[in-house]
Structure 1
Amino acid sequence: MTTQNPYQNRLRPADEKIISIREIVGILKLYRWQITSFTASVVILAALVTFSISPTYQASARLQIEQEQAKVMSIEDVYAFEGNDAYLNTQHEVLKSRPVMEKAVKKLNLIENPEFNAALREPSPFREWLNWRNWFSIESPELSEAEQKARQLEGVIGAFSRNVTIDPVRRTQIVNIRFDSENPQMAADAANAISRAYIETWLESKLALTTNATDWMEVRLIDLSDELEEAITSLQTYREKESLIDLESELALANSELTALTQSLAQERSKLATTGTIYQQIQNTGAGSIEEYSTLPAVLAHPLIQRLKEDEARIERQAQELSRRYGPRHPRMIAAQSELNSIQDIIRQQIEKTVRGVEREYEVARANEEALRNTVDSARERVQAMNRKQHRLNELERNVQTKRDLYDAFFKRISETSATADLQTANARVVEEANAPRSPIAPNKKLIIAVAGIAALLFAAGCVFLKEMLNNTIRTSKDVEEKLNLPVLGILPVISDKAKKDSVHKLFLDKDEHGFGEAVRTIRTGLSLTALDQAHKVFAVTSTQQGEGKSSSAINTALAFATMGKTLLIDADLRRPIVAKQFNLKEKAVGLAHILAGFDKVEQCIHSWQGLDVLPTGIIPPNPQELLSSEAFASLIESLREQYDYIILDCPPVQSVSDSLMIARVCDGLIFVVEAGRLPTPAITGSIKRLMKAGAPLTGVVLNKVDPHRGTYGYEYEPYGYQGYAAG
């Protein structure tokens, strides 16, 4: 008889697990001894390492660096600074430079100090092993004695420099020079040596700079002397070539003459313009008569012609009066007419003279203007030539003056530099010398041990959480419900007592193991509740793999049902039977295989043991799957249903063979045993899927070998009324 499994369609992948605060506390409580042990080990190791480290002392010297501009050259401060910050930053870098470090190292003779010279220390036992040349059998190159000393010096300077700290004080000229050493006195001496080495280096560099500048200026002074001589020679040669004595006076005279000629030319051009206008008027009349000339403005404006015109007008009036009075033949009239003709002749002559005079005056003015223009052009060319000479002369004179000024400046600076070469002052002074410190600055033993402890604690906790997160096994009833989607029939605790481990298959009968017995009763109750609506009598017990406790679960469950009614325990594992051994039956006792093979009857194969009937396997058959899938097996189970209230079958593991799939066909329910924390979830779900595909009536899961001490992390095994129970 088979029933439909109500959980057959509910198997699905578990949702992503979210660890709650309670579970976090549970994990920490669960692994508290491991975390505590690891943390304590790390703390002890850190303490041992810390106390084995040589203490480090630090001494500090204070140095004031003052800005000083270069005074070697005055040519716009050849060695000018970009600003106070840039200068101080530069000096801070100089403080850390190799020349300063080398001078301090040599002053302290640190080449003989094992703290800085690794060659003087005892070689490390791992030194040869860590030498990569030995790995490839490469011989180290042979060095000369000088090369070895140079290499040792470089190593000492490097080790010395690594212990130096330059700490400028912001917005001041103060800088702290700190030095770390295993020897407090060495720390103070080194800090003071660096301060003095920096001052000496600065003075030496200034002296070298002054010497170099002096040498350069002396060489340059010789070149300037030659250039000055060459410039003077060029000036004198030009004066002699151009016959220049007092060029400025000659140029002033020429300029005055040019000015006068220019003024005369302007006046002559004005006069020419006036006469030209009159001349043009005359030329426009052509060869005209006296009457036409007499209308010209120049003729009309002539004073003599105006007086003659007045006399002519007066005589004409008189002639007109005499003509009215005496007639044309009167002597007076003839005399008046003769006088009028005479005055008119004079006017015509005067007009002709005026016209000829205007023409001559125009010609003269034009000739004068042309002559003056030529004279002005000549004077201008002469002035321009003199200006060119003056420009060239000024250029040569400026060149001579520039060479002379530069020569004088260099000569003066050389004299000053030579006189003050031995009076160089330092740009820094020691404000406070370093003293030997009384207490070390490192290692901070308390801090190191505390940090190591905290780091170890966090690391251990992290590893524990990582382990829990990566754990993909079934460990709690919550895992069963979420990952397998099956109900939990019960939880069996792990048995740590070796003596009780041997009797775990019948531990239900042990009166001292109240907790275990209560857990088995819980399984019995769960199975009984599934049979309320239907008469469920036959239950198969299986698991994924061998060793998960399916046989012990089946036997103990059968013993629990035996207290309620007539119960039969069948060992259906025809491959690796275990029931007969647990009930002290003979090895060759008849059993299930004999019944299915038709050799013996049922009554002959069933054995009673303290109220429980047991049907062992009997002999191990060569074809167990064929026997279990036969009609004889199904008929046997049907006949036994009528004789017993409960039948428990111990079946083989699902993952190993398919016998359980055959047995499940004739059962009312199937108990699936899972050992907590053993197999990954995909292996268990694979077995359950096989059972579901075969139509097995999965009733629920028994979670076996659960540690009750892990109850705070979701292992809900704490039997009611037996809180004091502890199965190891």
Structure 2
Amino acid sequence: MRSVDAPYVDRDDGGPAKGSPRELVLAIGRAARRQFPTIAAVTAVVVVLGLTYLATAPARYTATATMVIDTRKVQLFQQQSVLGDITVDAGTVETQVEILKSENISLSVIKDQRLTEDPEFTGAGGDPIGTILGVVTDALQGFSNSPASEFEKMRRALARFEAGRTVKRLGLTYVMEIKYRALNPDKAAAIANAIVDAYVVDQLEAKYQATRRASIWLQDRIRELRTQASAAEKAVIDYKEKNNIVDTGGRLISEQQLAEVNSQLIMARASTAEAKARLDRINDILKDPVPNESVADALKNETIIKLRGQYVDFAAREATWSEKYGRNHLAALNLRNQMEQIRQSISAELHRIRQAYQSDYDIARAREESIKNSLASVVSENQLTNQAQIQLRELESNAQTYRSMYDNFLQRYMEAVQQQSFPITEARLISPATRPLRKSDPKPLVILAISGAAGLILGIGAAYAREMGDNVLRTSSQIEQILQVNCLAVLPYLKSGGGSKIQGRAAASDSAGPGDASATVGESSLSHVVDQPFSRFSEAIRAIKVAADLDGTVKTNKVIGVTSTVPGEGKTTVASNFAALIAHAGARVLLIDADLRNPSLSRALAPNAGHGLIDVIAGRSSLKSALVIDQRTALAFLPSGVTTRLPHTNEVLASASMKKAIDKFRSEYDYIVIDFPPVAPVVDVRATTGLVDSYVYVVEWGKTRIDLIDHSLTGARAVYDRILGVVLNKADAGILGRYEYHQGEAYYDKHYGRYGYAESQR
């Protein structure tokens, strides 16, 4: 037996493969057909609510204003903004949209337009839902005896204001669209424009406050930088004084002295070299007794030149005289003496010049040494100055930095002061809101479409919930799939003469008195197959007979028990009509009421019977005296014979006497139909498995829970193994058509009308 937790999937034999897309579509279609009234009812209710809203909701008007954030900066002064230029990108535009939606802008408009005094914003709001909420709120406030405060009015107006406002960016542009929806068209336009004005004023105020705060901060920073710059400059001056650092024209004096002394040293070295060259030259000249002409000319000494001329003249004359008169001639000797005197004079003059050159050389050397010493002193001082300049440059750099920062902040402060007087904003209104000519909502087509769609969705949801929570059996395919047994028939409700539905209790019939062996079963639900042989109910009972006969070809199937899960499912009606149908066909049939605890069949067919099954089993009465015979069908009925409750009915049904009686009945009758008690409340049926060939299990259509059936049959496994099939009883033919089309009333009227079935039902 299949567990009830297994999912139920509707199927039709010969249909598409299980789990295929087509099967899924068909299953959804069948579910929609089954739950169509629920879907239609929910949809209709929601549509009616939508129509009610259209009839009661006031007209609203929407005014639209457009604003742009201009990327071209309007600079009143050719200077950079003290707050810096803001790049207008997508994020900036979205930020401005959120600012337009901010509570600050909304409260500003509410105060400016005095909306807290407008009933549309502090009252019911004009629509039915708002009216109901307003009445409820007023009632609650009335109970609390405290009037709404100004804060509560403001918050209520703010909520209504934000509900009617819409702000969005148009595409990827810098344009923003501001819409406002109100009951009055002029009010809608005024509020839309007021939102833009409040935004512009808020931006101007924000920039003014930011600039003012920046000015105050800059002013404090300027004072601090001025003090720092002065301190840094004073530190430079003090350091120069401490380290004797003096500069003229951007150069240190020590550097100038070093350059001058270096130049002097170069000149002194040149003078020394020149003096030494002259001294060396004069020394070379002194090696010759008489200098030649080139030397005399080089010395540029007039005395030497004159003496050289005399010496040359005397030498020429001495050569002449010596050649003419001989070398020992007195004149030649006198000339040579004069030449010697001239040579001595020249030598004396050269020595005098040498002494002068020596003196110049000594002076040049002394001067060079003095300049060297001065240069060494200047270099030493300059090295000390250079070492001190390392820290001096750091101090000068700090002083210059502080001075630059001070000048920059001072300039920014002046700009901030100017911008504080002339604030600007990038936003401007490009299309002011005008009075709308047509209402924006409610829109009938939109409301109806939404109502229809919402109703359909809710209807489908309710249908799905009903479908998932429908833990009952309604179709033959469910029985075959869940219970794993055949569905023998689907029996419709039986209607009494007055048209009421019989719920399993048969109407009382005429029967014989005590000891009477024959009775006539009157027209009732227990003999419907005899009274209405061509009805749909009778045809379904015939299907049970056919199933029993077919099963009888495989095994003995003479004793057939009829039971159900709980009382009231119509098992007694099924058992009575099943037995009457077979008997009406001419077979020998015995109908036994074995429901010893609740013998409803005995009360209906033989209310005055004095003997019954209990008496026959106990041997107190014969079968013939206990039977009640139907005069129309010759159906033999054996009542229970119980007038008081028996505590151990299961023991009676499982007794050897009961088995012996049934065995005897088998030889005397073609069919034995036994009406047993239900399975769930009592255990009697479980004790009869040794008596019965097969069971017909009756389930009330759309009422008996599947889990209860599963639990009952699981506990009575022997009964389940002998079940011939299940009968769905008390089915509503009109509703059944939504679950199984071939079981519907329209299907029977169409296809079986020619046989008189539909007409006989009417």
Q: Scaled by the length of structure 2, what TM-score is found?
A: 0.68
Is contact 2:245-2:385 (8 Å) kept? no
Counterparts of 2:235 and 2:721, CA distance in 1: 126
What corresponds to 1:581 in structure 2?
A: 603
Counterparts of 2:199 and 2:256, CA distance in 1: 70
User: Which of 725, 730, 740 is the equivalent residue of 1:714?
Assistant: 740
Aligned: 1:18 with 2:18: no
What corresponds to 2:655 in structure 1?
A: 630
SS of 1:618 mapped into structure 2 = coil
**1:559 Cα deviation from its structure 2 partner:** 0.8
User: Which of 105, 113, 119 is the equivalent residue of 1:108?
Assistant: 113
Between 198-207 and 557-566, report the one with greater CA deviation: 198-207
What corresponds to 2:564 in structure 1?
A: 543
Is contact 1:570-1:648 (8 Å) kept? yes
What corresponds to 1:44 in structure 2?
A: 48
Aligned: 1:608 with 2:613: no
Is contact 1:58-1:440 (8 Å) kept? yes
Instruction: Output the amino acid matched with 1:572.
Output: A
Between 383-392 and 613-622, report the one with greater CA deviation: 383-392
What corresponds to 1:63 in structure 2?
A: 67
Q: Deviations over 1:675-696 (max 9, x none)?
A: 2233233432344345443797
Counterparts of 2:607 and 2:737, CA distance in 1: 42
**1:558 Cα deviation from its structure 2 partner:** 1.0
Between 234-243 and 644-653, report the one with greater CA deviation: 234-243
Counterparts of 2:716 and 2:599, CA distance in 1: 21
Aligned: 1:531 with 2:556: no
Inter-CA distance 73–609: structure 2 relative to 1 (3 Å threshold): same
User: Which of 525, 541, 553 is the equivalent residue of 1:504?
Assistant: 525
Counterparts of 2:99 and 2:260, CA distance in 1: 72
Instruction: Output the amino acid matched with 1:183.
Output: N
Is contact 1:268-1:368 (8 Å) kept? no
Q: Percent identity?
A: 26
User: Which of 126, 136, 147 is the equivalent residue of 2:136?
Assistant: 126
Counterparts of 1:165 and 1:109, CA distance in 2: 20
SS of 1:58 mapped into structure 2 = strand
SS of 2:709 mapped into structure 1 = helix
Counterparts of 1:560 and 1:394, CA distance in 2: 126
Is contact 1:221-1:411 (8 Å) kept? no
Q: Deviations over 1:59-117 (max 9, x none)?
A: 12233443576979988643212423376566555545556545444432334223334
Instruction: Output the amino acid matched with 1:187.
Output: A
**1:188 Cα deviation from its structure 2 partner:** 0.9
Instruction: Output the amino acid matched with 2:192.
Output: A
Matches within 5 A, 1:210-229: none
**1:565 Cα deviation from its structure 2 partner:** 1.6
Inter-CA distance 68–111: structure 2 relative to 1 (3 Å threshold): farther
Between 400-409 and 260-269, report the one with greater CA deviation: 400-409
SS of 1:665 mapped into structure 2 = coil
SS of 1:638 mapped into structure 2 = helix
Is contact 1:59-1:191 (8 Å) kept? yes
What corresponds to 1:184 in structure 2?
A: 185
Matches within 5 A, 1:334-345: none
Instruction: Output the amino acid matched with 2:378.
Output: A
Is contact 2:63-2:189 (8 Å) kept? yes
Is contact 2:70-2:174 (8 Å) kept? yes
Counterparts of 2:373 and 2:635, CA distance in 1: 161
User: Which of 232, 246, 261 is the equivalent residue of 1:258?
Assistant: 261
Inter-CA distance 379–573: structure 2 relative to 1 (3 Å threshold): closer
Counterparts of 1:627 and 1:231, CA distance in 2: 123
Is contact 2:8-2:482 (8 Å) kept? no
Between 539-548 and 695-704, report the one with greater CA deviation: 695-704
Counterparts of 2:416 and 2:422, CA distance in 1: 11
What corresponds to 2:306 in structure 1?
A: none
SS of 2:689 mapped into structure 1 = helix
**1:236 Cα deviation from its structure 2 partner:** 9.6
SS of 2:603 mapped into structure 1 = helix
Inter-CA distance 626–408: structure 2 relative to 1 (3 Å threshold): closer
Counterparts of 2:135 and 2:70, CA distance in 1: 50
User: Which of 540, 546, 550 is the equivalent residue of 1:519?
Assistant: 540
Inter-CA distance 716–633: structure 2 relative to 1 (3 Å threshold): farther
**1:40 Cα deviation from its structure 2 partner:** 0.7
Matches within 5 A, 1:296-307: none
**1:507 Cα deviation from its structure 2 partner:** 0.6
What corresponds to 2:434 in structure 1?
A: 435
Counterparts of 1:230 and 1:197, CA distance in 2: 49
SS of 1:193 mapped into structure 2 = helix
Between 380-389 and 634-643, report the one with greater CA deviation: 380-389
Matches within 5 A, 1:611-690: 611-620=634-643, 622=646, 623-690=648-715
Is contact 1:81-1:87 (8 Å) kept? no
Counterparts of 1:18 and 1:191, CA distance in 2: 58
SS of 1:667 mapped into structure 2 = coil
What corresponds to 2:302 in structure 1?
A: none
What corresponds to 1:596 in structure 2?
A: 617
Q: Deviations over 1:477-511 (max 9, x none)?
A: 22222222223333322224545734211111123
Instruction: Output the amino acid matched with 1:487.
Output: N
Q: Please, which runs of 5 or more residues in structure 1 have no aligned partner? A: 1-10, 275-298, 309-361
Inter-CA distance 175–665: structure 2 relative to 1 (3 Å threshold): closer
Is contact 2:70-2:427 (8 Å) kept? yes
Counterparts of 1:472 and 1:213, CA distance in 2: 75
Is contact 2:686-2:718 (8 Å) kept? no
Instruction: Output the amino acid matched with 2:752.
Output: G
Instruction: Output the amino acid matched with 2:34.
Output: L
> How many pairs are equivalent?
629
Instruction: Output the amino acid matched with 1:30.
Output: R
Counterparts of 2:709 and 2:623, CA distance in 1: 35
SS of 2:673 mapped into structure 1 = strand
Counterparts of 1:211 and 1:694, CA distance in 2: 96
Q: Relative CO higher for 1 or 2, CA cutoff 8 Å, sep ≥ 6?
A: 1
Counterparts of 2:390 and 2:715, CA distance in 1: 122
SS of 2:698 mapped into structure 1 = strand
Counterparts of 1:404 and 1:606, CA distance in 2: 130
What corresponds to 1:374 in structure 2?
A: 373
Q: Deviations over 1:98-151 (max 9, x none)?
A: 5654544443233422333459999933226768x98xx9x98x99xxxx5566
Between 609-618 and 662-671, report the one with greater CA deviation: 662-671
Counterparts of 1:489 and 1:394, CA distance in 2: 111
What corresponds to 1:80 in structure 2?
A: 84
Counterparts of 2:201 and 2:30, CA distance in 1: 69
Between 376-385 and 604-613, report the one with greater CA deviation: 376-385
Inter-CA distance 267–218: structure 2 relative to 1 (3 Å threshold): same
Counterparts of 1:119 and 1:539, CA distance in 2: 72
Inter-CA distance 391–569: structure 2 relative to 1 (3 Å threshold): closer
**1:399 Cα deviation from its structure 2 partner:** 6.3
SS of 1:44 mapped into structure 2 = helix
Instruction: Output the amino acid matched with 1:40.
Output: A
SS of 1:124 mapped into structure 2 = helix
Counterparts of 2:622 and 2:397, CA distance in 1: 149
Inter-CA distance 221–435: structure 2 relative to 1 (3 Å threshold): same
Counterparts of 1:581 and 1:67, CA distance in 2: 98
Instruction: Output the amino acid matched with 1:581.
Output: R
Counterparts of 1:620 and 1:698, CA distance in 2: 30
Is contact 2:215-2:416 (8 Å) kept? no
